[in-house]
């Protein structure tokens, strides 16, 4: 998923509005932010295999560090601890910081849950398996219906929460960009090679400052 993850980030800010949208986006997409780096370092691997699912041509055959449940738990703990160390230090006052850190950790873990729903059985529980996947990506109409509905719901929750940023042009340009990028990835040609895929995936980092 892509828009589905972003939908969780949009809705989560309603749950804890003191955390910026940018931070929520980092949480829900953390493993995908790290994944292209792992590809470039040759620590994880993917193959371009058109037809492996109806929705994506990517064969995610080796990504235990970022996308296994065990790995996701580690990244969730690290992210929660990192946020807590910054916001709950003696010079800052943030009531309920432990609870907020746990919510952010849950945001990181939500990525694994949504991946299990969308992927074929290639999402590892432990680095060596077993592998789970409900195969939503085997149907283009079902994938579009689920992700676009989630995104619309997340966006509606965010707007109804009355955040000032929802009225900015930059926010709506971000929403438009997310939709354009989603449809381009879904219906555009497959990447020519894994290196190009990895470098283009790094562009996800640019969304973080945009969401502020």
pLDDT at res. 137: 97
pLDDT band at residue 92 under the 50/70/90 scheme? low
Mean pLDDT for 121-137 is: 97
Q: What's the pTM?
A: 0.93
- Within a 10 A sphere around the Cβ of 58, how many other Cβ atoms? 21
pLDDT at res. 195: 97
Length of the chain: 212
pLDDT at res. 188: 92
The pLDDT mean for the chain works out to 94
Mean pLDDT for 184-210 is: 93
What does the pLDDT look like over 138-157, one tens digit per residue?
999 999 999 999 999 999 99
| Cβ atoms of residues 157 and 14 within 8 Å | yes
pLDDT of residue 91 exceeding 60 = no
Q: Which of 110, 86, 90, 88 is nearest to 24 (CA)?
A: 110
Residues of the chain with pLDDT > 90: what percent? 85
Residue owning tokens 């292209």 = 36
pLDDT of residue 53 exceeding 60 = yes
């Amino acid at each position: 998923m892509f828009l589905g993850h972003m939908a969780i980030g949009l809705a989560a800010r309603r749950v804890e509005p003191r955390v910026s949208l940018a931070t929520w986006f980092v949480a829900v997409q953390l493993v995908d932010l790290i994944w292209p780096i792992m590809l470039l370092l040759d620590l994880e691997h993917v193959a371009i295999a058109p037809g492996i699912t109806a929705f994506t041509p990517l064969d995610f055959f080796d990504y235990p560090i970022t996308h296994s449940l065990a790995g996701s738990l580690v990244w969730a703990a690290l992210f929660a601890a990192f946020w807590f160390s910054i916001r709950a230090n003696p010079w800052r006052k943030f009531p309920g910081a432990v609870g907020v850190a746990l919510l952010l950790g849950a945001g990181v873990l939500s990525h694994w849950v949504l991946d299990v729903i969308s992927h074929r059985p290639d999402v590892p529980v432990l680095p060596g398996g077993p592998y789970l996947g409900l195969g939503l990506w085997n149907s283009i109409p079902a994938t579009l219906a689920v992700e676009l509905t989630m995104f619309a719901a997340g966006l509606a929750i965010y707007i109804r929460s009355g955040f000032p940023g929802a009225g900015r042009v930059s926010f709506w340009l971000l929403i438009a960009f997310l939709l354009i990028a989603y449809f381009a990835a879904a219906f555009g040609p497959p990447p020519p090679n894994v290196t190009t895929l990895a470098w283009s995936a790094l562009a996800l980092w640019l969304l973080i400052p945009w969401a502020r």
